[in-house]
């Protein structure tokens, strides 16, 4: 499998109330040579204005529906174009644009068609509760998927076009991280991981460990029931 070039890959970033971070993040991605699509999920601050000022490709959604809904809109846009692979990043500063080439190199290999970032090899800066929640969820997803996925909740990931086309996705919120992996495993997509930096600088995460763990299990029961009925 030939090495992919930067102009064959698009970076997709869902955003919500990130007016402080979005401009510097997009500039760093563009300076690295990657095209980027921003999908704003009904932000209530100045994020849409910043996005328009940046130019380039963007989608502005309203009202707010959740990360999953924003990603799915971005996937539709991507699949209507002729790019070979997609890299997903969060907009809150926890994903280092300097590691984009790591994903580009890994997705170019024949080993895997879906690459998930792995922060758990050195999670020193990750809050303890977040770390334990991630390990627990990753163990469950790995067991159900039949493939080892050390950091199933990491949003920094890359997927080849043909693999993305196989996924039947329905969720609107953070469950999308798990749904993508289970769908990939169901359809035979090869899932790999790559070590990345764990970047936490005291910012408040939008993920609530208690609330989102409950939502995670509701999603699992719903997903497994849905699959059995088909």
Quick count: other Cβ atoms within 10 Å of Cβ 28? 15
Pairing mode, strands 57-61 and 36-41: parallel
pLDDT at 205 over 60: no
Residue 206: pLDDT above 90? no
The model's confidence at residue 70, banded by pLDDT at 50, 70 and 90, is: very high
Q: Which of 65, 83, 80 has the alpha carbon at shortest distance from 8?
A: 83
Q: Is pLDDT of 27 > 60?
A: yes
Residue 172, SS3 per DSSP: coil
Q: Give the C-alpha separation, 49 to 118, whole Å.
A: 33
Asked which of 15-29, 61-75, 118-132, 140-154 is least confident by mean pLDDT, the reply is 118-132
User: Would you say residue 162 has pLDDT above 60?
Assistant: yes
Give the residue ranges of DSSP H helices in the chain.
22-31, 47-54, 67-79, 100-108, 128-145, 161-166, 176-186, 209-228
What's the pLDDT score for residue 43? 97
The predicted model scores a pTM of 0.92
Binned at pLDDT 50, 70 and 90, residue 130 comes out as confident
- Name beta bridge partners: 117: 194
Do 177 and 206 touch, CB atoms closer than 8 A?
no
């Amino acid at each position: 499998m030939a090495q992919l070039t930067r102009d064959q890959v698009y970076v997709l970033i869902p955003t919500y109330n990130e007016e402080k971070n979005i401009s510097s993040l997009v500039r760093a991605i563009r300076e690295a040579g990657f095209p980027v699509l921003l999908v704003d999920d009904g932000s209530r601050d100045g994020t849409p204005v910043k996005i328009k000022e940046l130019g380039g490709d963007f989608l502005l959604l309203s009202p707010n529906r959740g990360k999953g809904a924003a990603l799915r809109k971005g996937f539709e846009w991507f699949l209507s174009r002729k790019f070979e692979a997609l890299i997903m990043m969060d907009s809150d500063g926890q994903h280092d644009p300097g590691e984009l080439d790591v994903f580009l190199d890994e997705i170019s290999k024949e080993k895997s068609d879906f690459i998930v970032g792995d922060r758990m090899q050195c999670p020193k800066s990750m809050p303890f509760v977040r770390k334990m929640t991630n390990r627990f969820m990753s163990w469950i997803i790995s067991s159900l998927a039949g493939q080892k996925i050390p950091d199933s909740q990491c949003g920094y990931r890359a997927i080849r076009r043909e693999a993305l086309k196989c996924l039947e996705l329905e969720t609107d919120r953070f469950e999308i991280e798990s749904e993508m992996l289970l769908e990939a495993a169901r359809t035979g997509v090869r899932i790999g991981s790559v070590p990345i930096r764990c970047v936490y600088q005291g910012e408040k995460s939008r993920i609530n460990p208690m609330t989102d763990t409950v939502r995670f299990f509701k999603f699992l029961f719903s997903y497994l029931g849905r699959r059995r009925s088909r």
